[in-house]
């Protein structure tokens, strides 16, 4: 990603393209979440934690904007010894996120919505971790900024994410307290 390394584009231009790709992924994620929200609510789902949801959306938006602003305004360099491994972690985080989405199926959401009678999923990454998607978010929150040495954004996001994650985990655990821990049923079509 050095200046002119690939196709004559600067490392900042490549980083901007990476941020645009991550933003597009977020839009796709929100589309899946909206579809799953409609399904969950139509099937008696109960939403918890509405109060903290806007702060989560703002934090994730700020991550992308912070990456862009810090790299541009502070003229952060691309440091290959850090940037390439961090790019690999960003790719792994995207794969991990979609593994979580696929494993939870219709139960996956960016909100906390529990459908009564649906079992708690204990397959896929949920076999090893109770909340693997939050691990993915934490990794991405460090790796995405550090692809282009935006260390301040990584630090601020990590601190803010830890605070919000504490609230989110308490909310989610409380909402899931009554869900039986059985393997997930296959989703019904439609």
Tens of pLDDT, residue by residue over 20-66, are 999 999 999 999 999 999 999 999 999 999 999 999 999 999 999 99
How far is it, in rounded angstroms, from Cα 139 to Cα 143?
Answer: 6
> Can you point out the beta strands (E) in 25-139?
46-48, 112-114
Place of tokens 């994620």: 29
pLDDT, one tens digit per residue, over 98-129 is: 999 999 999 999 999 999 989 889 999 999 99
pTM to 2 decimal places: 0.88
On whether residue 172 sits in a domain, the answer given is yes
CATH number of the CATH domain containing 147: 1.20.120.1630
On whether residue 162 sits in a domain, the answer given is yes
On whether residue 10 sits in a domain, the answer given is no
Place of tokens 């934490």: 138
Q: What is the dihedral of CA 36, 38, 43, 48, to 10 degrees?
A: 80
On whether residue 28 sits in a domain, the answer given is yes
On whether residue 2 sits in a domain, the answer given is no
How far is it, in rounded angstroms, from Cα 23 to Cα 50?
Answer: 23
How many structural domains comprise the chain?
1
On whether residue 6 sits in a domain, the answer given is no
Question: Which pair of structure tokens corresponds to residue 45?
Answer: 């789902």
Backbone Cα Rg of the chain: 18
On whether residue 91 sits in a domain, the answer given is yes
Domain limits for position 97: 17-176
On whether residue 3 sits in a domain, the answer given is no
């Amino acid at each position: 990603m050095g200046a002119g390394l690939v196709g004559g584009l600067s490392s900042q231009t490549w980083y901007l393209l990476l941020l645009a790709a991550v933003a597009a992924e977020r839009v796709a994620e929100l589309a899946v979440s909206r579809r799953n929200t409609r399904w969950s609510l139509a099937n008696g789902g109960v939403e918890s934690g509405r109060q903290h949801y806007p702060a989560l959306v703002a934090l994730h938006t700020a991550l992308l904007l912070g990456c862009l602003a810090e790299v541009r305004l502070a003229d952060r360099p691309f440091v290959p010894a850090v940037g390439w491994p961090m790019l690999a972690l960003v790719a792994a985080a995207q794969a991990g996120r979609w593994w979580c989405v696929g494993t939870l199926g219709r139960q996956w959401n960016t909100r906390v919505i529990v459908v009564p009678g649906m079992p708690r999923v204990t397959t896929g990454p949920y076999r090893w971790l109770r909340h693997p998607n939050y691990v993915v978010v934490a990794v991405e929150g460090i790796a995405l900024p550090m692809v282009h040495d935006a260390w301040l954004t990584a630090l601020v996001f990590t601190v803010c994410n830890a605070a919000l994650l504490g609230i989110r985990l308490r909310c989610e655990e409380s909402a899931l307290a009554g869900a039986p821990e059985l393997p997930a049923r296959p989703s019904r079509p439609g």
